[in-house]
Structures are given as structure tokens and as C-alpha cells.
Amino acid sequence: MIESDVLVIGGGLAGATAALSAAREGADVRLVSHKESTLRNASGLIDVLGYHDGDLLADPFSTLDNLPEGHPYERVGAEAVEDGLALFDEVLGDLYAGSHTEKNALVPTTGGAVKPTARYPKTVAPGLASDTNEMLLVGFETLTDFDAPLAAEHLENAGVPFEVRGVTARFPMLRADAKITRYAKVLDTNEKGIRSQLVEAIKPHLGDAERVGFPAVLGHDHPEKVREALGRELGAEVFEVPSGPPSLPGMRLENTLFAALREAGVTIETGNPVVDFEDSNGRIDHVKVKRTHQHVPYFANEFVLATGGLVGKGITSSREGVREPVFDLHIPHPENRYDWFEDDAFGDHPFARFGVAVDTDLRPRDSAGAVEFENLRAAGGVLGGADFAAEKSGSGISLATGQFAGKRAAQQS
């Protein structure tokens, strides 16, 4: 019989945070994730809140109390956001920066815009747009998501307070359709002296640049070594311009987070979906994990649902409507599917807010507003009420609600 105090469903940032926070409360925690973590899809930046009503925010915390009812931050309160970040900083402190201030940082994107974020990998840190050091961006002919000269001109047009130039170089050795993990691998292992070859190709363009930005492929296992070596030979600070999917900063985050989970004693199972459940007296008794063809019961006292939104398939849809596939939770949405979107591609799309509605204990509510199950909480992308992409709030919501749900689940168990 498979059982635990707390069962977390989902292996993204919210699920991992929930499992970690529950384990730290002393609970026996099991995390089941259908697939490998979707963290590798994300840029690796930890956005908390970058925009409110379309206005760019320098300080996300000053606005947390002004969010509308039903927004995940409103549900858990500003304190949970800080607790979530504190947990993150504690676990990822060696890998990440940004905790020295409450202000947002503006990080260059591969398109050449800048975006507000609260925590960023140390590999990204020298690239901040509020820094005035001269910048050189380096792209590779074969990594088509980042056109460095175009991005540099874009940054100029955004009025950045530093000189910036871009150059496109040829990455030695690799075929045109090599995957980003291949780039990272040759840099990690310094195959055929690749690091020096790169430096030689870039040096003629360096000029007075004090910092040099690359696509985020500077190593998988040893990014600090790669960055340090390139920086030393170039005589400039080296940084990564984050992007994705797929994303090496996301993969590095995943590795560290899951190592922390294992260290905290969380049992992790990947590869099989939770497809069904049994309940009695308003409580989930057990969920059923589909192992190829058998439905295996997993028992627990408390459950956390962190299966993600439309992208992570925690929310699914058809022409008939929108649903949550594991517990069939209520997802508020307009009946007519032509009311799910706006005509402008960047409009205020209702679909971007689809997700479960919860009480202030993060327990999903049915269409009448009643709590569906006493011992089920939801966290992260599966929650409705926020357009994380427009707000730049995705990771913050996962950290805040994951931490909160995990802690509450452990306390209740």
C-alpha cells in the first residue's frame, strides 16, 4: 500500500515548493509528477509582479495589497509571497541573485526588450539594464532565437543607460540543428578547446565592452566554470540572456530544486499521471495513479494539486468547455468559446485567467462557492484569476501558493 502524510501532484515550481515546505514542517511527503518537470520550459527568471493594470512596477511589494479579490496573491496575502521567496532564496541562494533588494530588476530578453523580475540566475546578473557598463551581445548564426545585433539595437531604442552593440559569430564545430544541450555540453567539457576558440572569434568585436552577453547555453553542469573561463579570457564579465523553451537556466533550477527535495526526504515519482480519486465525507481518500494500464491507489491525509495551467495540462479544454481533469474541479469560464479571447493578440484574454477558484486556504471551490474537499489545496498555474504572462507573476504565484499550500497541508496532516 502506497501512502504518505502529504501527496503533492505536479513537479513544477509550485509542486516542488509545496513538497519542500511540507517536508520542512515535518510531514512525510510524496510528490508524483506525470512527466519531467516543466521548469525546463521556463526562462529560469523568478517574476513576482512586473505590471499592474499595464503599469511597469519598480517595487512589486508595494502593489501586492491592491490586487483584486480572487487573485492568487490576494488569497494568500503578501506574507506568503515573502515566505515563498525566502524558501526559494534559502534553497537556490548559490545559484540566484536579487534578494538584496525588494526592487524588480530589468533583464534583457532575447528579443531585445527588457522585462521586470525579482530573482535571476547569477549567470544573468551582469546583464541588468540598470547597470551602466558598456555591453556587447553575442549571438550565433545557428541559435536562431537570439539575433544579437537586432537585440542590441532594440535595447538602444528602449533608451537603456549604456552603450550596447551586437555581433553574430559562428559557433565552431556544431551542425546547424544541434540542440542547446549540445552547446552546453561542449562548453561544459571544453571539447576541443571550444572556449578559447569562441573567445578568439569574439575578441575582435570586444572594443570597450565591460560585459558580454550570450544566449543561455553556457554549460549545464558547470555554468560557473564556463562563465569564469570565458570572462577571464575576454577580460570582461560574461552573462546569459535568458529565453526558452527550452531553457538551460530552467534545467539548472530544476536540478537544484529536486536535489533539495531528495535531501529533505521527499519521495519523488515521475512518469505516471494521477487520473482519478475516491472521496468520502468531503475528503479525498486516495488518488489513483495510472501505471501504464493499472490504476494504483495512493493514500494520503492531505493533497496538493499543482498540475499547472493550460500549458502544463492541469487545465484542459474542448469545444464544449474548460475542465480540471483530475478532480473535475470547477473552472469558471464563459460559456461561449468566442468569449475566451480578445481580437488583439496581446489583448486581455480571459483564457489567460482560466483556473480553479479557491478560498483563502487555497481549497478549490465549486460553482456555488463551497469548498470541494477539506483536504485538497491547489497551487501554482492551476489557480485562476491571474494572467501571469501579462503581469509577469508566474513564478511568484507558484512560490507563494506552493509554500502556503505545502505548509497548510503539513499542519493539517
Partner 1 sequence: MASQTAVLVIGGGSTGCGIARDLAMRGVDVTLVEQGNLTHGTTGRMHGLLHSGGRYAVSDQKSARECIEENRILRDIAAHCVEETGGLFVKRPEDTEEYFQKKLDGCRACDIPAEVLTAQEAREVEPYLAPDIAKAIWVPDGAVDPFRLCVANAASAEQHGGRVLTHAPVTDLLVEAGEVVGAKIRHEPGPRNDSAGEIETIYADHVVNATGAWAGRLGDMAGVDIEVRPSKGVMTIMNVRQVDTVVNRCRPKGDADIVVPHETTCILGTTDEEVRDPEKYPEEQWEVDLVIDELTKLVPILGEARTIRSFWGVRPLYEPPEVGSADPTDITRDFFLLDHAERDGLPGMTSIVGGKFTTYRMMAESISDHVCGKLGVRASCETAQVPLPGSEDFSVLHDYMDEFGLRSPVGRRSVQRLGSRADDVLKTDAPNPVLCECEGVTRAEVQDALTHSGTDLNAVRIRTRASMGNCQGGFCCQRLASELHPDHDEETARTSLDELYQERWKGERHALWGEQLSQAALNHALHAATLNRDGDPAKAGTPDWNAFDGGEL
Partner 2 sequence: MSDSEKFPIDVFPEAEDMDLRPGADSCYKCSTCDTSCPVAEVDDDFPGPKFQGPEQWRLKRKEDVSVDESVMKCSNCMRCDGACPAEVPLSQMHNTARGEYVREEMSMLSREYWRNRILANYGTLARVGSKVPRLTNAIMGNSVVQRVNEKFLGITAEREFPDFATETFVEWFEARGGAKVQSDEKRVAYFHGDYANYNTPEVAKALVRVFEHYGYEVAVPDQRCSGTPMFANGMLDDARRAAKFNVEIFHDLVSEGYDIVCSCTSCSMALRQEYPELFSFDGTAEVAAHTYEALEYLRIYEDVEGDLKGANPDVPDLAYHAPCHARNQGLDGQAVNLFADLDGVSVTDVGDSCSGISGTYGWKEENYDTSMKIGEEMFEHMDDAPGETGLTECPTCAMQMGHGSGYEIRHPLEVVESALVE
What does 341 bind: partner 1, partner 2, none (CB cut-off 5 to 8 Å by kind)? partner 1
DSSP state string for 110-124: TTS-EEEESBEETTT
> Interface residues with partner 2 (CB under 8 A)?
1-2, 34-36, 38, 40-41, 174-175, 177-182, 184-185, 221, 245-246, 251, 262, 267-272, 289, 291-294, 296, 311-313
Q: Minimal distance in Å, beta carbon 195 to partner 2? A: 17
Comparison of 84 and 309: residue with beta carbon closer to partner 1: 309
Those residues whose C-beta lies under 8 Å from the C-beta of residue 281, and which sit 6 or more positions away, are none
Burial class (CB in 10 A: 0-12, 13-18, 19+), 297: middle
What does 105 bind: partner 1, partner 2, none (CB cut-off 5 to 8 Å by kind)? partner 1
Q: Is 231 in the site for partner 1 (CB under 8 A)?
A: no
Q: Is 163 in the site for partner 1 (CB under 8 A)?
A: no
What does 110 bind: partner 1, partner 2, none (CB cut-off 5 to 8 Å by kind)? partner 1
In angstroms, rounded to a whole number, what is the distance separating the alpha carbons of residues 10 and 34? 7
Task: Return the amino acid letter for 351.
Answer: F
What does 130 bind: partner 1, partner 2, none (CB cut-off 5 to 8 Å by kind)? partner 1
Three cell numbers written together for 93: 541562494
Q: Is 111 in the site for partner 1 (CB under 8 A)?
A: yes
Those residues whose C-beta lies under 8 Å from the C-beta of residue 90, and which sit 6 or more positions away, are none
Helices marked H in 53-98: 72-76, 78-92
Which part of the chain contacts partner 1 (CB under 8 A), choosing from 188-196, 296-304, 313-321, 369-377? Answer: 313-321
Q: Is 197 in the site for partner 1 (CB under 8 A)?
A: no
Burial class (CB in 10 A: 0-12, 13-18, 19+), 182: middle
What does 294 bind: partner 1, partner 2, none (CB cut-off 5 to 8 Å by kind)? partner 2
Q: Minimal distance in Å, beta carbon 78 to partner 1? A: 19
Give Cα separations from 1 to 84, 182, 297, 298, 405 (angstroms).
Answer: 33, 42, 8, 8, 25
In angstroms, rounded to a whole number, what is the distance separating the alpha carbons of residues 103 and 59? 5
Q: Minimal distance in Å, beta carbon 183 to partner 1? A: 13
Residues 256, 230: contact at Cβ < 8 Å?
A: no
Comparison of 58 and 259: residue with beta carbon closer to partner 1: 58
Q: What is the x/- site pattern for partner 1, positions 359-388, by CB under 8 A?
A: -----------------------------x
